Amino acid sequence: MPAADHRPGMRGELRDGEVVVGGDARQRFHDASGYGRPLEGDSIACSRVEAAHLLMRGDLEAVVDRSDSHSMGFRAFVEDSAAASDAFPVRFLVYADLRSRGFYLSPAREGWVDAANDVDFVVYPRGKGPGDGEVAYRVRAVGERASVPATALGDRTLAVVDEESSVTYFETEAVSPSGGTEGALPEGVGADLLGDRALAWDPPEALYGALFYGQPLGDRDAASVEALQLSLLEAAYLAARGAVAVDGGYDAVVDAGRAVEGDRFDRRLRAYAALREAGVVPKTGFKFGADFRTYATVSDVEDLGHSERLVRVLPADHAFLQRDLALDVRLAHGVRKEMVFALVPAGDGDVEWLAVHRLTP
């Protein structure tokens, strides 16, 4: 049913992509409900998305196109707006979803609000509106089939509209891994490359037990040979520091890594090394489909807590597919870890870290 203060017959006029609403629109729609931007007098200018929402709610009865005077109800205005911009359906659905969650929000159109690039909406804290100068989320609205460059993320909320028009929100932020794992590395532990892994023989106990490199081979209670299985990443990192001695040295390990993973091995090694240098222990994230799970501080593997983060390593120019992002973030959420993407530049330069969380606004 229409709201009690619904005024049948209220109309907007479509001019240059905006919908101008007169009468007492400023007080009724802007001041009281956060729609549009004030014009002179009591009129406001609404974006198409806002006008469509007012039409859907029955607060506007029609929008009249100034150029040809034809009058549009909700269905016709939605069709007209979708024809005018491919981005309209997705933006409208995000706008409507945030409204239904009790937020006021403004399109981040140039001149409307002070917004950075790559933002579609500025969302105000619940109970606040356009005039209060506070921002809860800067939202970019995309369809699930859109790809979004990693460089456009961080300090943004991504609102993804899936094919059935539900909206999933991802909060993205830059982070800096740091941990407290420390201890001296041994020197020249003998190791063999065996296909896409390595075996270190008779390593000092601390290499595994305190620093958490590798995995012991064999049953611990059998008369087993003392050997430590190392990943090629671990072997390369340790070989570069003289801690393990492999035939052919560091280069042979990196060659073995590149043979099975190509450039990806170099990227992963840079992320691995950056984490170790920050005192964080990266171990394989294979069981979670990630590159690493990480432990901020390890002092004794017998007394190991849960890993805190999952890390996927990507080239810095990576563009995220929303379905892949949803998969990673949902999995991390389910195992109570934080999903972090390591973005590795092609040239020199530091690895950057992007944390992504699911958000329920």
Residues 142-171 that bind a copy of itself (CB under 8 A): 143-145, 160, 162-166, 168
Q: Give the residue, chosen from 105, 159, 214, 271, that forms a contact with a copy of itself under the rule CB under 8 A.
A: 214
CA 175 to chain centre: 12
Nearest distance from residue 109's CB to a copy of itself, in Å?
A: 20
Verify binding: residue 88, a copy of itself, rule CB under 8 A.
yes
Binding range to a copy of itself, per CB under 8 A, among 16-24, 37-45, 85-93, 341-349: 85-93
Q: Give the residue, chosen from 251, 263, 324, 350, that forms a contact with a copy of itself under the rule CB under 8 A.
A: 324
Q: Tell me the per-residue interface mask from 8 to 47 with a copy of itself, x by CB under 8 A, - otherwise.
A: ----------------------------------------
Number of residues that bind a copy of itself (CB under 8 A): 71
CA distance 293 to 281: 8
6 catalytically annotated: no
Q: Give the residue, chosen from 96, 136, 152, 359, that forms a contact with a copy of itself under the rule CB under 8 A.
A: 96
CA distances from 300 to 166, 182, 228, 281 (A): 45, 11, 16, 12
> HEC profile for 40-76?
CCCCEEECHHHHHHHHHHCCCCEEEECCCCCEECHHH
Q: How many Cα atoms occupy the beta-carbon half-sphere of 18 within 13 Å?
A: 15
Looking up tokens 């065996």, which residue turns up?
Answer: 194
Verify binding: residue 300, a copy of itself, rule CB under 8 A.
no
Binding range to a copy of itself, per CB under 8 A, among 31-39, 112-120, 175-183, 319-327: 319-327
Count CB atoms within 10 A of the CB of residue 128.
16
Task: Confirm if 229 and 214 have CB atoms less than 8 A apart.
Answer: yes
Verify binding: residue 199, a copy of itself, rule CB under 8 A.
yes
Show the tokens assigned to 111. Answer: 């001149």
Verify binding: residue 223, a copy of itself, rule CB under 8 A.
yes
Verify binding: residue 2, a copy of itself, rule CB under 8 A.
yes
Nearest distance from residue 178's CB to a copy of itself, in Å?
A: 23
Q: How many Cα atoms occupy the beta-carbon half-sphere of 282 within 13 Å?
A: 29
Nearer to a copy of itself by C-beta: 222 or 348? 222
Q: Which of 124, 169, 237, 295 is catalytic?
A: 295
Q: Give the residue, chosen from 328, 344, 352, 354, that forms a contact with a copy of itself under the rule CB under 8 A.
A: 328
Nearer to a copy of itself by C-beta: 43 or 231? 231
Q: Give the residue, chosen from 89, 129, 130, 177, that forms a contact with a copy of itself under the rule CB under 8 A.
A: 89
169 catalytically annotated: no
The end-to-end CA distance of the chain, in Å, is 27
Verify binding: residue 361, a copy of itself, rule CB under 8 A.
no
337 catalytically annotated: yes
Please give the radius of gyration of the chain, using alpha carbons only, rounded to the nearest integer: 28
Contacts of 32 by beta carbon, 8 Å cutoff, 6+ apart: none
Q: Which of 306, 318, 333, 357 is catalytic?
A: 306
CA distance 133 to 86: 30
Q: Tell me the per-residue interface mask from 259 to 298 with a copy of itself, x by CB under 8 A, - otherwise.
A: -xx---------------------xx-xxxxx--------
**DSSP alpha helices (H): ranges in 46-203?**
48-57, 74-84, 88-100
Q: Give the residue, chosen from 217, 252, 273, 359, that forms a contact with a copy of itself under the rule CB under 8 A.
A: 217
CA distance 82 to 90: 10
| E strands in 80-181 | 105-107, 121-123, 137-143, 147-149, 156-161, 167-175
Cite the active site residues.
295, 306, 337
